[in-house]
Copies of this chain bind each other. A is one copy, B any other.
Amino acid sequence: MSIHGKNFIGNELSALGDKSNKIYDINSNEALEGDFFHANKEEVEKALKLASDAFVVYKQKSQIQRAEFLETIIEEIMNLGDELILRVMSESNLPRPRLEGERGRTIGQLKMFANLLREGSWVEASIDTAMPQRTPLPRNDLRKMLRPLGVVSIFEASNFPLAFACAGGDTASALAAGCCVIVKAHSSHSGTSELIASAIITAVKKCNMPTGTFSLLHGSGRTVGQDIVMHDVVKAVGFTGSTYAGMELFKLANTRKEPIPVFAEMGSINPCLFLPSSLKDTKKLAAIYSFSITLGVGQFCTKPGLIIALKSPELNEFKKDLALEITKVKPATMLSSSISKAYDDNKNEALKLKGISLLSSAEEDNLKSQGKATIACVDASVFVKNPDYQEEVFGPYSLIVECENKNEILEVISSLSGQLTATVMGEDNEMEEYSSHIYALENKVGRILFNGVPTGVEVCSSMQHGGPFPAATDSRFTSVGTGAIKRFVRPVCFQDCPRSLLPLELQDKNELNIMRVLNDSNTRDAV
């Protein structure tokens, strides 16, 4: 399959714009196949009109029909075969095993939502039956369930070119919810986006979904991205990326006549609290953390970017061990030359801050665009005074904050802004001693974990990937796991609705055998 670089406007290919861009191999600087045509205003308008029309049809598809659609997307992605993997490798510089794993994760997410739809209970069906004899006033028949929001705009992430991209968790959850999707391709892996989009469009056709159920548009965030977000048919936005870009979208969406929710999963430094008892085997701890900090060249949103611990001889030992581990990490190519440059710039800014001392750094390498692992230290008394010390450095960088006493640890925790995760390392009996520290950490995060590393985000019902601002724009939602579907639905109540118009999920006979709240009881019983 050759890369054509065109936009997918519903089921049609289109290249009417007068701008385009190529993607270059990060090492050889040679252009990869494909010239990506930026959507012009007419194309954006057409994609959105199609999506709006498609929504009227798509939202009435049954959960089973939507599940079959997601499963067909899986098949079509697998049908892309190794061509997909080769293209992502050349666009992202990520190694084959990681990308094969990420493809598995992407497919796993689609399957998870298909399963959720086949089970069906996630719609939170609730039925309060009529009480015509009630005094002083009778009660009407009231039935409520979650219904899709409308057209959803998804922005691809750079760091997960498959799992948080064209057919990633955002798209999967929005399509599962019954929403139509407009994806804005990421300019660093647009060929990957095109291949995945072609798989989705094949599935749209095979499953008889309306054209406009899915579109893929190329172009810059500033023009095409903003035009999509400002369009009045768009009802929600999904985004994973930098705080800067996420906040631009968030603010923009709030300037609309009708403000819409923007789910931006942005930065996080993922504080790790090392209790004294965790520092018994400092070599092992250093090895585990060095691995997590540098995994994927530190380009995970859950990279442990902050280690908080009490000053002690054991901590000094740990610092020495971690310093050594870090020097041994071979620098590796980052996702793009711009990300690599940003890493160097941000790291250098961080290291220039008063009171920061460099602990260790991986050895020099001569290849371009490589992320060199780096660890620094700072005193807690300095750290708490200035939020600049909390700025995320996207890449293999981590900062150790050294505290004088337990109270200073609490001050550090209080000073933290919202985070995706926090980690507590230590023995169980010591955890209780630090319970107020742990509760304070819980207030700051979406996920709190114990005796592990924050990298590795399980895709499952109990996952929460999100957190208080600025980790995400809305802490009440997750972008990973089944809960992600809740971002793109809203409850609708049907009062005294004729049976012929009532959604299947709310009919008396519980044909789908879903869990419902029936007159305040959880049950699968029919009415």
Using CB atoms and an 8 Å cutoff, list the residues of chain A in contact with chain B. 56, 60, 101, 115, 119, 121, 126-128, 136-137, 139-140, 142-144, 147, 149-150, 250-251, 254, 258-261, 417-418, 428, 431-432, 435-436, 438-440, 442-443, 445-452, 456, 458, 460-464, 466, 468-470, 473-476, 478, 483, 486, 489-498, 500-501, 515, 517, 520, 522
Contact = CB atoms under 8 A, between A and B. Distances in A.
Given A126-B461, A144-B462, A491-B483, A449 B496 contact: yes
A161 to B, nearest CB: 20
A468 B520 CA distance: 26
B461 A476 contact: no
Among A115, A128, A144, A447, residue most surrounded by chain B Cβ atoms (within 10 Å) = A144
Contacts of A470: 258
A440 B57 CA distance: 11
22 contacts: A56-B439, A101-B136, A128-B460, A140-B449, A142-B462, A144-B483, A147-B442, A251-B254, A258-B468, A432-B501, A446-B490, A447-B493, A448-B495, A448-B497, A450-B497, A452-B496, A464-B491, A464-B493, A475-B490, A478-B491, A483-B491, A515-B515
A137 B456 contact: yes
A244 B470 CA distance: 28
Contact of A449 (B137, B258, B495): B495
Given A495-B447, A498-B450, A142 B460 contact: yes
B432 A462 contact: no
Given A137-B456, A469-B259, A522-B121, A143 B462 contact: yes
A476 B491 contact: yes
A432 to B, nearest CB: 6
Nearest to A443: B150
A476 B489 CA distance: 7
Top 9 A-B pairs, shortest CB-CB distance: A449-B495, A464-B493, A142-B462, A447-B493, A144-B462, A126-B462, A475-B490, A128-B462, A258-B469
A478 to B, nearest CB: 6
A98 to B, nearest CB: 12
A478 B124 CA distance: 14
B462 A431 contact: no
Contacts of A450: 494-498
A478 B144 CA distance: 11
A357 to B, nearest CB: 29
Contacts of A473: 259
Nearest to A143: B462
A515 B469 CA distance: 30
B490 A476 contact: yes
A54 to B, nearest CB: 14
Nearest to A101: B136
A391 to B, nearest CB: 14
A395 B362 CA distance: 71
B452 A495 contact: yes
Among A119, A464, A474, residue most surrounded by chain B Cβ atoms (within 10 Å) = A464
Contacts of A417: 258
B500 A451 contact: no
Contacts of A500: 428, 431-432
B469 A492 contact: no
A198 B447 CA distance: 38
A448 B492 contact: yes
Given A259-B250, A418-B258, A500-B428, A494 B463 contact: no
Contacts of A475: 149, 490
Contacts of A254: 251, 254
A470 B259 CA distance: 9
A434 to B, nearest CB: 10
Contacts of A136: 101
Contacts of A445: 492
Contacts of A501: 431-432, 435, 438
A101 B136 CA distance: 10
A522 B463 CA distance: 16
A494 B447 CA distance: 6
A220 B147 CA distance: 38
A439 B496 contact: no
A182 to B, nearest CB: 18
Contacts of A250: 259
A330 to B, nearest CB: 22
A369 to B, nearest CB: 28
Contacts of A432: 500-501
Given A254-B254, A418-B258, A473-B259, A493 B431 contact: no
B492 A447 contact: yes
Contacts of A431: 498, 500-501
Given A259-B469, A431-B501, A140 B458 contact: yes
